[in-house]
Each structure stands twice: as structure tokens, then as C-alpha cells.
Amino acid sequence: MKPSMRTPARTLNHHPPQTPRTGTRNLHRQNSITDPVQVFCRVRPLASPGGDLACARVENSTTVTLTPPDLFAKQTVSNTGPLKETQYMFKHIFEPQASQREVFGAVAQPLVENLIRGKNSLLFTYGVTGSGKTFTMTGNHRDRGVMPRCLDALFRTISDYQTKKFTFKPDKLNGFEILSQEDALLERQQEMNSRFAKGRRKDSDPEIASQASVEASPIPGIDEDNMYAVFVTYVEVYNNSVFDLLEESPLNNQKNLQSKIVREDANHNMYVHGVTEIEIKSVEEAIEVFQTGQKRKKTGHTLLNAESSRSHSVFTIRLVQAPTDSQGECVIQNRHVITVSQLSLVDLAGSERTNRTKNQGQRLREAANINNSLMNLRTCLECLRENQMNGNSKKIPPYRNSKVTHLFKNYFDGEGQVSMIVCINPRAEDYDENVQVMQFAEMTQQVQISRPTVQKLDMGLSAGRRKANKMFKMAVNNLNDLGHTEAKTLEVDLGLIYTLGPNFPNYEMDSPESNAVISDLMNYLQHRIEKRKSLKGDIENRCDNFRMLLLKMEKENMSLKTENAALHAGLKLEREKHIALENKLQRYEDSIDDLNRKVRSREEKIKEFQKRLHETKSMLSHKAQEEEKQKKHYNAKLAVELDKNSRELEIKLQRQRDKCRVKEEKIRMVSQIVNCEKLPTLMRSLSTEEVGSNLENRPNIAPKPLDIIATPRITSRPGVAVANARHRRSRSTGERWLEHRGVNPVPLGTILQPQLKNRKSITKLTDVKDLTRKTTKYCLIAQGADTEGEVETTLYKGNVIPTCAGGAQVIFDDVECLKQKSPLSSPNRKRPSNVGGVVYEHHLPVQEVASRCTMSIEGHQTSKRPKI
């Protein structure tokens, strides 16, 4: 990774050695040691463990498995084989029952240690909407999250080493300056006046601000000779714009918040220009400030989350530290010795799909900006990974495309520890989103970040001076309590830890007789010489002990060398055995792979054969069903044909019987005529009887089929009306007849001719509109030969009634039969009044001639001609 540029080293005027400029970060960017991004995974508990279907399963502390919901259902129903699961490995996996304390101890506590040691760190949560990111970062009043625990651990560590307020003051350029005691006092006085004028802040949540944690313990490794101050900032990135949540503005009027710009300081660190930095002195005060900004944060209601974050929030903790003077009481008045480290806690907004959230309008725009910023973050990390794998920097990550990546550019492109908590919701509905999150997290682990290093400025001051000064003051106070007034004038030199005593006292010899002064000086020198001798003896004893220890260690070293040589020989033999076992193991693994391949091929063949067998069984069953269906169809058709043939046979037999009866009657009449003496009278009586018998026993003469394309269908439904019952035809317009006759009819030649007024004649019934358009009467004319071979004309008359379906229906109510006979054929019959011997037969009611019939014409559907 290419290190960012640093300012050149500077030299302090009061100390000869040259030391690098500390600035806002004491990081040595020339260090080539890198560490990967630390990625942790936390699985959210299911809302209803017994009812919801989980797609995520924690295998161990570093592995989590995702199972597709459809394959899981298939496994549950059919047990067809192993599921196609995907495993992901991270630094640590937190199971659903993991507590907030465990998450803080594994993830955030090392970052707080870096903060105290002057190193920068970044922690952000990533996941889909409703996966528990905000709960992990902030928690609630019952179970606090990472951010409150970081503040608690920090203040428990530096509680005894904090400066007074306004000792450090931000310079608005991402740096700090040191104020004198007078200026700091004035700033504190102004703040007290301003707070008294405004009153108590009403933005805080007393339930959260008053809570006290007893879980966190002080973090070791703090430099006791430094003074510390804590500053916090809270910003959000909403619709790719940066807003300061701690800016002085009315709480209920969020539109007054002005967007901020991201700039780069002199040390190539990115910061939000003009952001509000608040100095805090306790955890309660920090949580109160956080709640002030939290109430201004953009949240909204979606289908997946009732209070979904609509922006990326960044809560930054900045720790400012500077060394104390030689007495360990005041901060050195030099801004170049200040060390600034920061810990950025980022709660990224959740990625979401529109087809699930059904967002519209403003929510849709917010979701689009959130997804774009997360996609740009992924693109930047992919560019960094590719550049690191190829060993070049051909691709430039697009940091400026999004405010989130632009703000944290110095972390990915510089130095600092980066950690990420991936939150997933194990519901089956979130499987697709969880796969995308897991792939991004797995890729992020491959990005290398330069390890932060701190090079402290050597001020030439003794370590532990602050503690020594404190102990000295305690001793002086104890002496004062015991009544030793001379203890007030005692002074201690904390510049050196080991000395031969205090400096030479000031002596004045006014006369040669100043024996007392010489005696005191001799006592002081004697005491100094004795102390030197004791120190020299102690040094000689230590040298002798050190020499003995060196000899002892030399002997131990020789024995260890001998033992090491023996161990090397044994190690060589073990290595040879190990290599032989590895070769053997490799052969076994190869054979196992071959067997596994054979087993897989056999299983595939078995599956293929099973599939073929299933298809064959399905085909056979289908054929059997088809055969059974055809058999039933043929049986039904055969029964219909047999029934039809039997009816036709009965009709033919009836006709033959009728013909035989007519012939017998004729023979009987002939025999009577031959044997009767009164022929004319008998002929007249017999002709009357013959006519009656002919009318009663004459078979029905079916009219010949007309030359038409479609003839009406007559269906006999006694007692069932198929016409429109509510139809009532107006008789004011008169009757309109539709005469249906053959193409070439034989002239009637009868005296009485049918008279049909307002009629229309047709030879073919091709359109149903011929019946439905203003037609009230229908007449079907059929011609045929009777039993004697003479022409007989039959007129079937009926009413046309519209049907409910839009068609027409004909109800026959009259049948007329016209035929022509010779007057000479019956000598005993009276001649009619008109010449021609025409007989006109009119049979009413119709029920005596044939059963009442109805002709239905629905749309264009017709059937065979009627049979009367």
C-alpha cells in the first residue's frame, strides 16, 4: 500500500536531538508492515425461533454457513442429498446468544488501546436493513453497545490524567493548540455564563445519561507523564451530503443544518471542515452529547424496519495528549508535542431492495443514495485489493465518488487499524442480501492496511516524574501534619532519577573564623563521598553478580547447544518420517479421490436410471389410462349405435306392418266389393272407412331433405320452455312470415292454396339473422310421395321467439297436409263442388299429429331437419 506524504521533521529549540514532527498523528508511514482488515460477523437472533426458517448456521467461532431456503425445503421434504451450502470464514463469529460485552472485548477494546497509545482506528458496521447494526453500535438503556463501552473504558483509564477544560482548543484545521492557564480560565468562565443563560440541556435522555457501567476496567499501558483530553464529533452522510448533528441549531428545525465539505489537512488526513468538536469529561456527558445528535439523525419507516437509518452516522472520539514539564504538573507549551489519535465509529445504513421495501418518493431516493455509497465503498476496496495483489497502483480508487469513502480515505490509503462487524439476519427472506454482504466481507479481509506505529518525541525528561512529584507532595503534606515546618521549604529535583544528593548549598565566608561553615561543608562533602562509595560498592556488587550470571548463562548456553544439536538430529529423523508419512498420505488421498470419483459416477448413473424408470412408469400408466378411456368411449359409442340401430329396425318393422295392414285392408275391400251385391253403396261406405283407416294407419312420411347448408335443430323437451319467458312480441306491426321451401318445388295443383301475407321466401337457412330480424312466423314446406305414390305437400308452421342467449327459437303449433287426388279413382265418392278433386286436410290440434316440437337456433349452430 502506498503511504501518504508526511511533513518533514523539525527540531525543537530547547533540545539538541532532531525528532520528527508529531502533528495530529505520530505515525511512521515508512513502516512496511501491514495487517489485513479485521472482519467480525454477528448473527442476529430470530424473532420467533420456532416459526421462522433460518438460512445461517454458525459452525464454530470462525465459520458460518449459509443455506438456500429452497434447497433447505427440498432437503426437509425429500432428503435427496446434501444441500449446496456456502461457508464463510471470519476472524470471529458471534452467535445469536453472544452478549454486547463479548463483542466489545473482542472487537472494540483493542481499538481503545490503540487510541490511548496514539494510533488511529476505524470500526464500522455493515449489513442489510434490520440486521442489528445500530443495536451493536449503540445498544439501548438496558444493554449498552460498542460506543458507550468504548467511552466508559477510555474515561476509566485516563480519569486521573485529564487536563482542565480548554487546555487544548481546536484550531478549525483538524489540529489543536495549547492555551495558557489564563486563557483557559477565561474560556471556562465564558462557558459557565453561556450554560447558565441557556439553562439545562433538554435534548438528553436522562434514562441513558444517568446509567453507570461497572463492567469496563482500566486499560493498561497508559503514559502517566502525559495529560489527556477527549473531544467528540458526530456527523451523518445523508443523500451524499455531510451534516453536523452537533451544530448549534433548533432541534425541531433540521432544515437549518448546512451541509459540510470534506477537506485534507497539512498531514494529508481527511476531516469535515467546520465540524463542531465538543470536549467531554465523563461518560454521562458524552452520552448526553450523543443523544443530542441522535435525535437529529434521519430515520424513517420501511416495511423491513420501523426505525430504519436513512443515513450513515459517524461518531468520532479524538484523544489529545501532550507531555508534562519537568515537575509533572503542567503541559509543555509547545503545540508540536501534541499527539492526536482518533477512533471513528461508523454505523452504515442498511442496503435494501426496492421490491421488498416498496419505497417511493423520498424513501426511494434515500435508498438509492445509500446503495450507491455502499457500492462505491466496495469498488474502492476491490481496487485496493487488486493493486496490492498486482504489486502496482495502476487503478486509482474512486474515493471522491462518495462522501463516506472520501472521509475515510486516509485509513485505507494510509495507516491505521480497520475493523468491520458484519451483521446478518438469519431469516430465509434475507438470504439473497446476506450472500451479497458475505461476499463483500470476505473480499474486505484481503485488503492490507499499514500497521500504525508511534514515534514519541524524546524531551529529555525523566520517566515517572509526575508520580514522583505526587509522592513528594504527599510526603511534604505528611510532614506538615506532623508539625515539621521546615518541610515547606523542601524541594525535589525530578530531572534525574539517580543523584548523589541535592546541589551544593550557598555558603558565605566573611572571616577566617567561620569554622561552622567549614564544618557544614565538610559534613556535606563527607556525606556525598559516603554516598558515592555506597553507590560504587553497589555497582561493583552488581557487576560481580552480572559476571556470575554471564558465566552461568554461558554454561547453560553450551549445554543448550549440545542439547540443540541432539534435538536437530532427532528433528531430522522426524522430518524424514514426516515426509514419508506425507507421501503415503498423499497416495491414500489420491486413491480416496479416485474412489470418490467412481462413487459419484455410479451415483449419477443410478440417478439417471431412476429417472428413466420413473419416466417409463409414467408412460405406462399414461398409456393404461388412455386405453381405459378409449375402451369406455368405444363401449359408449357401441351402445349408442346399437340403440340407434334397434330404433331404426323398429321403425322399419312398423312401416312394414303398416304396409301389410293396408294391403290386407285393400284385399278385404276388394273381396267385399266382389261379394257384395250393392256395389255403389258399399263402395261409398268402404271408401269412407278406407279414408279413415288410411288417416289413422298411414305411416309418417318424412319430407325429403332440402338443399340447404344448415337446417334447424328440433329438440323435444315436453314441459320445458327454452325461449325467453319475459319476451312479449308486439302485434301492432303485424305478422312477418319466413317461408322455407325447396329449390325446385313441384306445383301444388290444389284448390286451396296457403296464403302467407308479408312473407319472405328462402331456399337455404344460412344466417340466423333471417329469423331474428322482424320475423314472427316460420313455415317449412316439405314435399314427398305418400304410400300410393302421389305427391304430398306438408306445411310445418310455428312462432319465432327470441332466446335469452341472443338467438331464436321456433315453436311449431300447426301442420297442414296438401295433396291432389283424381276424382275418378273413387267411383262411390261424391265429387267435390270444384273441379279438380282436390283434398285439403287440416289437422288440429297438433298434439294429435305429432308431439309438440321446438326448434332452437342458438347463434349459428344448427342440426338435422325435423322429423314429425
Predicted confidence (pLDDT) at residue 255 exceeds the cutoff of 70: no
Output the pLDDT for position 299. 67
**E strand segments, 707-863:** 713-715, 737-740, 759-762, 777-785, 791-802, 808-820, 838-843, 854-857
Last residue of a domain, one of 699, 714, 731: 699
Predicted confidence (pLDDT) at residue 107 exceeds the cutoff of 60: yes
In a domain, 226, yes or no: yes
Residue 264: φ, ψ to 5°:
-120, 130
Q: Which residues of 5-16 are buried (b: 16+ CB within 10 A; e: fewer)?
A: ebeeeeebeeee
One domain, residues 204 and 250: yes
From the number of C-beta atoms within 10 Å of its C-beta (0-12, 13-18, 19+), residue 271 rates as buried
- Chain centroid to CA 77: how far? 25
Q: How many helices (H) and strands (E) does the chain have?
A: 17, 29
In a domain, 299, yes or no: yes
One domain, residues 247 and 352: yes
Average pLDDT over residues 174-190: 87
CA distances from 518 to 103, 525, 528 (A): 71, 10, 15
Among 35-44, 267-276, 429-438, 747-756, the least confident range: 747-756
The residues that bridge with 424 in the sheet, in sequence order, are 43
Kindly report the CATH number assigned to the domain that includes residue 838. Answer: 2.60.40.4330
CA distances from 164 to 34, 178, 181, 290, 841 (A): 37, 12, 9, 22, 136
In a domain, 557, yes or no: yes
In a domain, 162, yes or no: yes
Positive or negative torsion for Cα 690, 695, 700, 704: positive
One domain, residues 353 and 303: yes
Helix (H) or strand (E) holding 300: strand 299-300
Q: Which residues of 570-597 are buried (b: 16+ CB within 10 A; e: fewer)?
A: eeeeeeeeeeeeeeeeeeeeeeeeeeee
* Residues 474/458, Cβ–Cβ less than 8 Å: no
Q: Look at 722 and 114; give whichever has higher pLDDT.
A: 114
Distance CA 106, CA 99 (A): 11
- Chain centroid to CA 198: how far? 47
Give me the domain span that covers residue 839: 702-857
Q: What is the CA radius of gyration of the chain?
A: 57
Last residue of a domain, one of 645, 667, 699: 699
Residues sharing a CB contact under 8 Å with residue 733, sequence separation 6 or more, in sequence order = 774
CA distances from 602 to 590, 598, 607, 612, 616 (A): 18, 6, 9, 15, 21
pLDDT tens digits, one per residue of 609-665: 999 999 999 999 999 999 999 999 999 999 999 999 999 999 999 999 999 999 999
User: Percentage of residues in the chain with pLDDT exceeding 90?
Assistant: 30
Distance CA 378, CA 200 (A): 44
Alpha-helical runs (H) found in 731-867: 769-772
One domain, residues 717 and 676: no
3-state secondary structure of 137: helix
CA distances from 342 to 30, 111, 339, 410 (A): 20, 10, 10, 12
Average pLDDT over residues 772-795: 84
CA dihedral 46, 47, 50, 53 (to 10 degrees): -50
Helix (H) or strand (E) holding 39: strand 38-43
Output the pLDDT for position 362. 64
In a domain, 460, yes or no: no
Q: Look at 698 and 581; give whichever has higher pLDDT.
A: 581
Output the pLDDT for position 651. 93
Domain count along the chain = 5
The residues that bridge with 613 in the sheet, in sequence order, are none
- Which three three-digit cell numbers place residue 549? 550470571
Distance CA 758, CA 59 (A): 96
Predicted confidence (pLDDT) at residue 802 exceeds the cutoff of 70: yes
Output the pLDDT for position 43. 92
Q: Which residue has the cell 434490520?
A: 130
One domain, residues 292 and 237: yes
Q: How confident is the model at residue 47 (pLDDT cuts 50, 70, 90)?
A: confident
146-158 helix and 283-294 helix, angle to the nearest 10 degrees: 150
Question: Which among 752, 724, 733 is positioned nearest to 811, based on CA atoms?
Answer: 724
In a domain, 288, yes or no: yes
Among 88-97, 178-187, 851-860, the least confident range: 851-860
One domain, residues 146 and 194: yes
Predicted confidence (pLDDT) at residue 373 exceeds the cutoff of 90: no
Omega into 397 within 30° of 0, i.e. cis? Answer: no
* Average confidence score pLDDT of the chain: 76
Q: How confident is the model at residue 485 (pLDDT cuts 50, 70, 90)?
A: low
Distance CA 325, CA 495 (A): 10
Last residue of a domain, one of 58, 79, 95: 95
Most confident of 263-272, 559-568, 744-753: 559-568
CA distances from 48 to 51, 53, 271 (A): 5, 9, 44
Q: How many CA within 13 A on the CB side of residue 795?
A: 22
Kindly report the CATH number assigned to the domain that includes residue 347. Answer: 3.40.850.10
Q: How many CA within 13 A on the CB side of residue 541?
A: 6
pLDDT tens digits, one per residue of 526-540: 877 887 887 788 788
* Residues 149/100, Cβ–Cβ less than 8 Å: yes
Output the pLDDT for position 410. 86
One domain, residues 89 and 144: no
Output the pLDDT for position 71. 58
One domain, residues 765 and 637: no
State the greatest distance between any 2 C-alpha atoms of the chain, in Å, as a whole number.
218
- Report the DSSP pairing between strands 226-238 and 241-244: antiparallel
Distance CA 319, CA 395 (A): 34
Average pLDDT over residues 465-478: 77
Question: Backbone dihedral region of 379: left (phi > 0), alpha (psi from -120 to 50 degrees) or beta?
Answer: alpha
One domain, residues 331 and 403: yes
Q: Look at 662 and 325; give whichever has higher pLDDT.
A: 662
Q: How confident is the model at residue 218 (pLDDT cuts 50, 70, 90)?
A: confident
CA end-to-end span of the chain, whole Å? Answer: 106
Predicted confidence (pLDDT) at residue 310 exceeds the cutoff of 50: yes
Q: Look at 844 and 51; give whichever has higher pLDDT.
A: 51
CA distances from 819 to 248, 791, 847 (A): 118, 6, 21
One domain, residues 612 and 662: yes
Predicted confidence (pLDDT) at residue 842 exceeds the cutoff of 50: no
In a domain, 543, yes or no: yes
Predicted confidence (pLDDT) at residue 843 exceeds the cutoff of 60: no
* Residues 209/283, Cβ–Cβ less than 8 Å: no
In a domain, 134, yes or no: yes
Q: Look at 596 and 26; give whichever has higher pLDDT.
A: 596
Q: What is the 3-state secondary structure (H, E, C) of 253-281?
A: CHHHCCEECEEECCCCCEEECCCCCEEEC
Q: How many CB atoms lie within 10 A of CB 222?
A: 17
Q: Which residue has the cell 457501567?
A: 213
Helix (H) or strand (E) holding 584: helix 515-675
* Residues 41/88, Cβ–Cβ less than 8 Å: yes
- Chain centroid to CA 271: how far? 34
One domain, residues 717 and 695: no
One domain, residues 404 and 477: no
Residues sharing a CB contact under 8 Å with residue 419, sequence separation 6 or more, in sequence order = 37, 38, 39, 40, 107, 111, 121, 122, 123
